[in-house]
Structure formats: structure tokens, C-alpha cells
């Protein structure tokens, strides 16, 4: 199986990046402990490679939100850091006398490593380069990873609602559609009662987990232990992202496994979380950890440490959703991820073949590159701005 840092060098030179902003409405509001979303302002990155005879474009998707709520990153900031810092570093490398082709995806992180932080912006750049490389060589991400599965089990993330009746109606619809795992967003005041109601609704056999998005503190450990009675698959990120010690204490006190999400921003933080006992399970989000190559490294580390992992979602369009499907087909992803059907969030996706649910699974895309083809007509219709950067 190829290593995550295996070079797949493009044959052309890196000539431009396009930063494209699009706006997509959600089919229903999605409420979590850090707020409610009704639409997404999304930054897409296009990387162009050109050898004089052939031009190939690759696309990446930045997963940060409009405001710095889930993390310190936000869309306007990501666009600015790419424009002012990341893209110039890559253009400078691409025009160096010793370089005859554009940087490989494996070279992206080292080349922009002097810029501190901003993993979501960096991931979008790396993703666009990786997509272009794979297309240049007429292969796809699933083949590059060497995976053997052609589909992965699909879980669904259910937001917070004003009433239990609304929640149960929503969950019933997802169960009817065939999702293999239900995840409930929780927060103080919306935890024990809704979890109990959903467990009664779906029965003991369908996997159920909860996600707090850092809404609790160490003072709530005893309260969180009361979730043990509902036989949950895991409790995701209950405490602040920097509180590894608190998560380790909760892991000792509770029988429900503790899963970390926001705390995992790199291979190093994943290793530390496992070593300290703070993470019994890890949610791998490529955009959060700086890209798909780092996500693969975290997968490999977790597999070696026998720590289960699953692929989280950030309300991605078909660009990120396709890549996540391929990543989640690696052997170490033993739990259903948040790779739901595109229709879970969007009435129309920006790709020609949106991800669909079939018997509780989603198929690993077979298209070139990261596994998608864009619906350019619709993409243009929802574009709010474009910016072209050239070396």
C-alpha cells in the first residue's frame, strides 16, 4: 500500500491558483453547541498545472466556517492566508532553477511549513495539488491509496432541535433511509433526555453516539458518565480541545469510549492524545489536520496503536465528500463515518454524480483525481467571487 508521502509529481509547472467563493443553502438548519447554520460560504481552491502542451486543473475545498466557532480558522482568513503567504511560497518553489515541474502534494506541507497554524487553508491547497496530480497521471485517489473496499458504511449527524418530537421525527427518517449509525449533537440541557428518547426509538442494536463539540468542562464529568446507561458507541469531544488531561480523566471514569475531534490537529496531537489516554477513538477530518496526507499518517499511527478511527464530516460539497469516501475505505477506518448522502445537506451538489446512500453505504468514487467531476454550470451560478493568483 503506498505511503502517504509517496510523490506523485505532476508533469507540468504550477501556473496559477484560483480562489473561488460559493454559497450553498442547507436543506434544513444544522444546529450544534456552537451555533446554527442555514447556508455555507465555501472557499474552493483550483490549482493549474501546464507543461505547454497540456493543462490540468485540480480542486480543493476549505472546510472552515464563516466565523471562528468550530476552530480559530474562518473563510475570509483562510482566503487571505492563501493569497498572501501560502500561494507565494509555492509559486516561488515552482520557479526555482532546480525545479522543472510543480511541487508534489507531498512537498506542499514542507514548502509552506514556515507559516504557523492554518491547517484548513493548507489542506485546501494540498488537496487541489493532489487532485491535479492524480488527474495528470489519469488515476484516482482510491487507486493511489491501494484500497480494497468499494463502499463504506454511512453514518448521519443529527443536530440540536427545539423539541424532542422534532428530533425523533428527524431520526426516524434517517433510520428509514438506512443509515448504519446515528450521531446526536448534544450540549448542556440537551443531552440525557434526547439521548434516552432516541435510544428508545432506534432500539439497542443500531449504533448511537453523541458529539458535544467542546460544550462541557471537567466539572461535568460525573454528569457525562450518566450517558453510560445508553450503550453509546462513543462520546465525541465533550471538553475543550486543549484539555487532554480532562479527557483522560473522563475516559477513566466513564465506560463510554471518549473520542477526540477538535483536539486532533496533527499527527503529533494524535500521538499525544493516545499516549495520555485522552483518546480511545479518533475522528479524522482531513481538513482539520492539514490535509489528506497527514490524515493517512494519523490513520497509520492509530492502526499501529490499535485505536479505532472514523472519518468525520464538515458539511463538505461533493469535492471533499468524494475524497473522504476513498480515505474511509482504508482498513483502519473500522467505525461508520459522517459521510452521508449529499442530499442530507444540499438540494443540489456541485458535482455531476453526488454521493448517494445505498443499503446504508456509500460507494467509493471511481472518477479520476479525488473522485468527482464538477457541475460547472451550477458552480458558476452559485459563485459569489473569484480571485486568480499567478506566480
Q: Largest alpha-carbon pair distance within the chain?
A: 66
Element (DSSP H or E) covering residue 266: none
122 is catalytic: no
**CA dist 60 to 73, 251, 341, Å?**
17, 36, 19
Which candidate in 180, 285, 297, 299 is catalytic? Answer: 285
Contacts with 13 (C-beta within 8 Å, 6 or more apart), sequence order: 49, 50, 51, 94, 95, 100, 101, 102
- In angstroms, the CA 55 to CA 8 distance is 17
Contacts with 291 (C-beta within 8 Å, 6 or more apart), sequence order: 105, 108, 109, 119, 122, 123, 126, 127, 130
Which candidate in 20, 48, 183, 185 is catalytic? Answer: 185
Q: Sort residue 121 into left (φ over 0), alpha (ψ -120 to 50) or beta.
A: alpha
Among residues 255, 268, 293, which one has the least CA distance to residue 133? 293
Helix (H, G, I), strand (E, B) or coil at 99: coil
Burial 288-312 (b: 16+ CB within 10 A, else e): bbbbbbbbbbbbbbbbeeebbbbbb
Helix (H, G, I), strand (E, B) or coil at 9: coil
Tell me the catalytic residues: 185, 285
Amino acid at each position: 500500500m503506498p505511503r502517504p508521502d509517496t510523490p506523485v509529481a505532476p508533469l507540468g509547472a504550477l501556473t496559477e491558483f484560483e480562489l473561488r467563493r460559493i454559497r450553498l443553502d442547507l436543506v434544513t438548519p444544522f444546529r450544534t453547541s456552537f451555533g446554527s447554520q442555514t447556508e455555507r460560504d465555501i472557499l474552493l481552491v483550483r490549482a493549474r498545472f501546464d507543461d505547454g502542451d497540456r493543462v490540468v486543473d485540480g480542486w480543493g475545498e476549505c472546510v472552515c466556517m464563516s466565523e471562528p466557532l468550530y476552530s480559530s480558522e474562518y473563510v475570509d482568513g483562510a482566503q487571505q492566508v492563501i493569497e498572501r503567504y501560502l500561494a507565494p511560497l509555492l509559486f516561488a518553489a515552482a520557479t526555482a532553477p532546480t525545479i522543472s515541474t510543480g511541487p508534489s502534494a507531498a512537498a506542499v506541507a514542507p514548502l509552506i511549513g514556515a507559516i504557523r497554524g492554518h491547517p484548513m487553508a493548507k489542506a485546501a491547497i494540498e488537496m487541489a495539488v493532489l487532485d491535479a496530480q492524480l488527474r495528470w497521471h489519469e488515476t484516482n485517489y482510491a487507486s493511489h491509496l491501494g484500497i480494497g473496499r468499494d463502499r463504506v458504511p454511512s453514518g448521519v449527524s443529527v443536530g440540536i432541535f427545539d423539541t424532542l418530537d422534532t428530533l425523533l421525527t428527524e431520526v426516524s427518517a434517517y433510520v428509514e433511509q438506512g443509515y448504519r449509525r446515528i450521531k446526536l449533537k448534544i450540549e448542556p440541557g440537551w443531552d440525557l433526555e434526547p439521548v434516552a428518547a432516541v435510544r428508545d426509538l432506534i432500539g439497542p442494536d443500531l449504533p448511537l453516539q453523541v458529539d458535544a463539540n467542546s460544550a462541557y468542562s471537567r466539572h461535568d464529568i460525573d454528569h457525562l458518565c450518566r450517558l453510560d446507561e445508553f450503550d453509546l458507541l462513543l462520546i465525541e469531544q465533550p471538553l475543550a480541545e486543549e484539555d487532554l488531561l480532562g479527557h483522560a480523566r473522563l475516559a477513566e471514569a466513564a465506560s463510554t469510549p471518549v473520542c477526540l475531534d477538535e483536539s486532533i490537529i496533527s499527527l503529533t496531537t494524535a500521538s499525544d492524545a493516545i499516549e495520555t489516554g485522552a483518546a480511545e477513538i479518533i475522528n479524522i477530518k482531513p481538513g482539520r489536520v492539514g490535509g489528506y496526507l497527514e490524515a493517512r499518517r494519523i490513520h497509520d499511527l492509530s492502526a499501529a496503536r490499535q485505536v479505532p478511527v472514523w472519518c468525520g464530516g464538515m458539511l463538505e460539497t461533493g469535492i471533499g465528500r468524494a475524497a473522504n469516501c476513498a480515505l474511509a475505505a482504508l482498513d483502519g477506518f473500522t467505525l461508520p463515518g459522517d459521510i452521508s448522502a449529499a442530499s442530507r445537506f444540499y438540494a443540489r451538489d456541485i458535482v455531476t454524480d453526488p454521493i448517494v446512500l445505498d443499503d446504508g453505504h456509500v460507494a467509493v468514487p471511481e472518477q479520476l483525481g479525488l473522485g468527482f467531476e464538477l457541475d460547472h454550470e451550477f458552480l458558476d451560478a452559485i459563485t459569489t467571487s473569484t480571485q486568480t493568483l499567478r506566480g
